[in-house]
Amino acid sequence: MPLTYIDIFAGAGGLSEGFLKNGYVPVAHVEMKAEACLTLKTRTCYYYLKNNGQIKEYNRYLRQEISREELYQLVPKELLDTVIQETMSAEGMESLFKRIDRLMQQQKVKKIDVLVGGPPCQAYSLVGRARSDSGMEGDPRNYLYQLYADVLEKYRPKMFVFENVLGLLSAKDGEYLRQMQERFRLAGYDVDYRILTASDYGVLQNRKRVILIGKQKDVDNVFVYPEIEKVGIEYEKYKVKDIFSDLCFLIPGEEKNVYKASATEYLKKTGIRTDEDVLTWHVSRPIQERDRKIYKHVISAWNEEVPRRLKYTDLPEELCTHNNRTAFLDRFKVVANDLHTSQTMVAHISKDGHYFIHPDIEQARSITVREAARIQSFPDNYYFEGGRTAAFLQIGNAVPPLMAAAIAKELKKQLEETKE
C-alpha cells in the first residue's frame, strides 16, 4: 500500500508536489484561497492523465484548446474532491473532519501516514512584524498551529512536517515556537526543527525555512531529526542563467509561450523541463517608463567589472519619487545571471517586480510568472490558476518542490522501515 498524507494550509501545492514525486497518495488538500484550490485540482488532473497515458489531453488544456471544465470532466470527481476549499478555524474543525473522514472512506484509507503543511507566515515574518504597529502580537494567525495540532490528534499520522519562515524563531522572542513544540508534544509527538536551505536540495535560490518534523512518541526509540540528503557538489556549477536561457526575449507587457532553445542541463537534471512540456505563463508585467529606466540603472551597476547592488538613494534624483529614503533601500534588485542562487522568492512579487529584475538590460523588465516558478523549482508542466497576481502570490508563498521532495524521500525511508 502506498503511503498517504493530508496537506493543510496547502497553498499551490509546493510541499505536496515533493510527496507526490515520491509516490505518496494525497487523501486531502485543505486550502482557503480559491485560485490555489483550482491550481491543486489542475495538478490532480495532470497526475491522473499522465498516469493513464493521456498527457496530451492535459497539454491541450495548457494550449487553451479545451476549457478547465472540459479538463476536469476527464478526471474522476472523487479525485477532484480531495481538494477542500476551507478557511480553517476552531469553529469549522468538526465539519472539516467529517469531509476528510468521507474522503478516507471513499479511498478505503484506514490510516494517515504523514500530515504536512505550513500556516500563513505573515504573523511570524520579520517584514510582517516590521510593518505592524503591534509587531503582529495578538494576530490570530499566530495560533493556527493549534489547528494543525487538532488534526494531529484526530488522525494520528505517524509523522508530520510543519514549514514556516525564519521569523518563527524570533517571534515574541521564540515564545511561539516553544508553545508550538509543547502543543505538538501534548498531541503525542516527539518534535525537533532545523533550518533548511533550498539550495542544498537543488533549488537555485537562497531560501531558508524552519522545518519542524515530528514522529509519534515511541518509548523504545529516541527521536532523531531525519538527515535530509543534500545534492552533490556537481550542482555547484549551475547558475541562475540556467533557469532563464531557453526562454524567449520579452519586453514589459509581452507574452511568448514558446521555447527558444533546448533545455539546459540543470532543467533536465531536475525535471523542471521535459520534452513533452507545453510552456505557459512566460508573460511579463507592464511597467511605467520611469521604472524601466530604474531597472536599466540597477542592471548596469551589476554588470560593472566589480558588480554592485544599487541602493535607491544611488539613483538619479529625477527617478527617486519615494519620500522614504531610509528604509527598503534595496527595493530594486536584479536576479543575477552569474550567481549560483537568486534572492529569496517572496509573495510581495504579486504586488510589483522591483525586487526581481531580469538580468538582461535589453529586456529591462521584472521576471515572468514562469521564471519565478522555476526559481522555486516548480516544473514547467505545473499550471497556476487565476490571474498573474494570484499566480505570483501562489509561487511566492510556496515550498520549493525540490526541497519538499528531499524531505519526503527521507520520511519515506523511515516510514517503510517502521512497516518492516
Q: Is residue 113 scored above 60 in pLDDT? A: yes
pLDDT average, residue stretch 380-405: 97
Q: In what order do the strands lie in the sheet with 114-117?
A: 83-85, 25-31, 4-8, 114-117, 159-164, 208-216, 189-197
Q: Is residue 363 scored above 70 in pLDDT? A: yes
pLDDT of residue 136: 45
Domain positions in the chain are 4-231+399-419
Least confident of 45-49, 80-84, 174-178, 266-270: 174-178
pLDDT of residue 129: 37
pLDDT of residue 326: 78
- Percent above pLDDT 90 for the chain: 86
pLDDT of residue 123: 58
pLDDT average, residue stretch 390-397: 97
Q: Which helix (H) or strand (E) holds 50?
A: helix 34-51
- Percent above pLDDT 70 for the chain: 94
What are the tens digits of pLDDT across the range 197-238? 999 999 999 999 999 999 999 867 889 999 999 999 999 999
pLDDT of residue 287: 95
Active site residues: 121
What are the tens digits of pLDDT across the range 254-313? 999 999 999 999 999 999 999 999 999 999 999 999 999 999 999 999 999 899 999 999
Q: Which CATH number fits domain 4-231+399-419: 3.40.50.150, 2.60.40.2140, 3.40.50.10440, 3.40.50.920?
A: 3.40.50.150
- Mean residue pLDDT across the chain: 93
Distances from the Cα of 310 to the Cα of 297, 327, 349, angstroms: 8, 14, 19
pLDDT of residue 120: 84
- State how far the Cα of 382 lies from the Cα of 392, in Å rounded to an integer: 13
pTM of the predicted model over 0.75: yes
DSSP string, 114-173: EEEE----TTT-HHHHHHSTTTTTT-GGGGTHHHHHHHHHHH--SEEEEEE-GGGGTGGG
Q: Is residue 130 scored above 70 in pLDDT? A: no
Cα angle at 110 between 106 and 116, to 5 degrees?
90
Q: Give the number of other Cβ atoms within 10 Å of residue 163's Cβ.
A: 24
Higher pLDDT, 258 or 135: 258
- State how far the Cα of 397 lies from the Cα of 303, in Å rounded to an integer: 30
Q: Which amino acid is at 184?
A: F
Higher pLDDT, 142 or 361: 361
pLDDT of residue 125: 54
Higher pLDDT, 135 or 3: 3
Q: Is residue 171 scored above 90 in pLDDT? A: no
pLDDT of residue 134: 47
pLDDT of residue 142: 66
Q: Is residue 110 scored above 90 in pLDDT? A: yes
Q: Pick the closest to residue 191 from 180, 179, 181, 178 (CA basis).
A: 181
Q: Is residue 132 scored above 50 in pLDDT? A: no
Least confident of 69-73, 242-246, 262-266, 325-329: 325-329
Q: Is residue 11 scored above 90 in pLDDT? A: yes
